[in-house]
Amino acid sequence: MDAANPGDFWRCEEALTDALRRAEQMDLTEADLPFLHDLLEKSFAQWQRQAEGFPWPVGSRVALLHPDGKLVGAAEAESGDMPERWDEAAIGPSAFVDAASSGRPARTRSEFHRHPFLQPFDSFAVPVFSRSTGIPFAYLTCLVPAGADSNEPMMLLKAASLHFRTCFYHHYERLFIADMWHAADNAARDVQRSRLLLGVLRRLHDQIEVDSVLAEIMDSLDELYPDCRIDLHLSQDYGISHPRVKPLVFDRLENEIGRRAYLTGIVQEEKSDSRHLIALPLVGKQGVYGVLCMDRKGKSFEAADLRFLAELADASGIAFEKASLHEQANELVGELRIINEITQRLNSSLNLEETLRFATTELLRLFDAEYCCVLQKDPHTDQFVVITTNVDKLAGELLSPDSGFCGVLWRSREPIILSDYRVRTPVRSRFMELTGSRSLLATPLMMKGEMNGAVLLAHRKPHYFSYENYKLLNVLSIHLGLALSNARLHEEVRRLSITDNLTGMYNRRYLDEIVQRRLTKDGAGTLLLIDIDHFKEINDTFGHQAGDAVLVQVSGIVSGSIRETDIAARWGGDELAVYFPKLELDLAVKVAERIRKRVEGETRPPVTVSCGLAEWKTGDGLDLGDIIDSLFARADTALYDAKRGGRNRIALA
């Protein structure tokens, strides 16, 4: 006891003194006798330990009997064959029978015993009376070899009975005091429960966040029941980080009563000698949100505990529902804002690459996913192409409409949410297996009723994505599909605007733009102009279709003879141009010669080309505009020199 609080010490001492006084005043009644067997047995065991060395006659045997004649215990270990019942119907005449009928000490000589076990002995029996009510609650019996002195055993037995009664009332008073302390403890715990419940209710109704409500529930229960295992199973994924808050999966619930509690909305319990299990449903006005499972080993819940927990569960269900609705409202507002912002961003750019990069980044951020994959259907091959992903091994990969989750989306036209790929999956997926993911969100990208793409999001944790994620992705897919379609259309229009329709090469306007752009970055470059010799004669002789075919053949040879970084374009009519960034004149001559020879040997009908080359370098002392004009003029002059020099040759400016 803390010395700083002497009043607590005196109050505790007064309570203990009062309990002892009340225990001494309490005594047995006739109604208590059927329930005394355990108490008599414990008292007899204590008496045996304290009476060790008592001067019993040689060969004697001592036993304690209940008033109903049942043997409570025997003092001698060798008395294993002592009768279990001592009433007259069971063993005939004995000192116990006489003492029970007269209420006084009794002796029966051996010749009157009919039971074989008793015949070698004289029996003595002394009733043990209660302190104030005078009820015989036990009989101490002694078996002495026949013919012994009759006075000494009786005197010893009477003394032993008084000693035994002291031992009995020692246990009786301890039991009474224990009951009183138990009742006082229950009362104190009831007060504590009431205060705790009031405090919990106040704190619960102050919370507007689901996580805070659940943390308050679990912390309060931990405080009151530290010896209990507590788990909360929720019917939906609320993204709770608490280690003991788990999703409600019916085929994984550890106990049947959890399922029953959720389905019925009624508290369920299961009790055994070593365990007490209860399941409390969290019920709101709109339904059951989960089940609170409490497992207590070695100790049972009392009725007051069950009432308290039921009230707490009801209050928790209402508070949880309120917080859930508040969060859902906030999430809805947030989702609408996100949809609006993303839609504006998607529609603000018609650049396909920029749109794809933004879409991937935003999808990963918004859903906190680890992996993203966006596919688009190729109208020419009817296959799906991975157009953007953060999984390098999948970039640019072609997928059949029948393969993986892409095939599921293609057939169903419905979004997919998969909780655990390892446990249950309708198909095998290269995307999921490459990333080691277990959770999946996927949705088709629809345009005018047709699926022209798909979005797949994944995470390595199971049960990661929520139903709210599923709904949000479904809404976003509409805007994403439209944005990608617009960007793709713009890309196609842009491609057509800078591409020559016949040869597939860039047109002259785009070449001018590229050359001007490269001149600001590079320190050197070379321009090659190519003219098909006697092209008019080919048109006149074979027709314009043959002339077009020759143009296509020559442009194909040119495109196949240059680097990816080089820019080839149709200069106009039968003239082609190639700009070589950062390539010096001597190397450009080799490329031009390769083109000239291939054209001469590979075209049908056979044609030749004339080539003019001009080079520029930093330090020519000209302005940017002058460099461009000079470069094109010098290349054109060189081309004219090649044609004037006999064609099928290369001239340098």
pLDDT per position as a tens digit, 530-588: 999 999 898 888 888 989 999 999 999 999 999 989 999 998 888 999 999 999 999 99
Q: Are strands 524-532 and 609-617 parallel, antiparallel or unpaired?
A: antiparallel
Which structure tokens are listed for 267? 């508290």
Residue 492's pLDDT band (cuts 50, 70, 90): confident
pLDDT in tens, 119-144: 999 999 999 999 888 899 999 999 99
Choice among 354-358, 442-446, 517-521, 567-571 with the minimum mean pLDDT: 354-358
pLDDT in tens, 262-278: 888 898 888 888 889 99
Q: Please give the residue that has the higher pLDDT: either 450 or 371.
A: 371
Residue 621's pLDDT band (cuts 50, 70, 90): low
CATH of 207-327, one of 3.40.630.30, 3.30.450.40, 3.20.130.10, 1.10.3470.10: 3.30.450.40
> What's the Cα-to-Cα distance from 651 to each of 223, 236, 616, 640, 642, rounded to whole Å?
94, 77, 16, 8, 5
Q: Please give the residue that has the higher pLDDT: either 502 or 178.
A: 502
pLDDT in tens, 37-91: 999 999 999 998 888 888 888 888 899 999 999 999 887 645 567 899 999 999 9
Residue 4's pLDDT band (cuts 50, 70, 90): very low
**Under CATH, what is the fold of the domain 349-495?**
Beta-Lactamase (3.30.450)
Report the candidate in 370, 415, 373 with the shortest Cα–Cα distance to residue 397.
373
Backbone angles phi and psi of 238, in degrees to 5: -100, 10
Backbone angles phi and psi of 147, in degrees to 5: 90, 5
% of the chain exceeding 90 in pLDDT: 34
Specify the CATH number of the domain 508-652: 3.30.70.270
Average pLDDT score over residue span 206-234:
80
CA count, 13 A, side-chain hemisphere, 86: 33
Residue 344's pLDDT band (cuts 50, 70, 90): low
Q: Are strands 228-234 and 245-247 parallel, antiparallel or unpaired?
A: parallel
Q: What is the pLDDT of residue 162?
A: 92
% of the chain exceeding 70 in pLDDT: 88
Taking the C-alpha atoms of residue 313 and residue 284, their distance in angstroms, rounded to an integer, is 10
Q: What is the pTM of this model?
A: 0.43
Which structure tokens are listed for 177? 């005091």
Q: What is the pLDDT of residue 164?
A: 93
Whether residue 394 is predicted with pLDDT greater than 60 in this model: the reply is yes
Look at the alpha carbons of 206, 208, 209, 210 in this order and tell me if their dihedral is positive or negative. positive
Q: What is the pLDDT of residue 367?
A: 87
Choice among 217-231, 317-331, 362-376, 578-592 with the minimum mean pLDDT: 317-331
Q: What is the pLDDT of residue 345?
A: 66
First to last CA, the chain: 109
User: How many of the other CB atoms lie within 10 Å of CB of 287?
Assistant: 12
Q: What is the pLDDT of residue 15?
A: 53
12-178 is a CATH 3.40.50.170 domain:
no
The four Cα atoms 106, 109, 113, 118 give a dihedral, to 10 degrees, of 90
Q: What is the pLDDT of residue 602?
A: 92
Whether residue 200 is predicted with pLDDT greater than 90 in this model: the reply is no
* CATH 3.30.450.40-classified regions of the chain: 12-178, 207-327, 349-495
Whether residue 9 is predicted with pLDDT greater than 70 in this model: the reply is no
* CATH 3.30.70.270-classified regions of the chain: 508-652
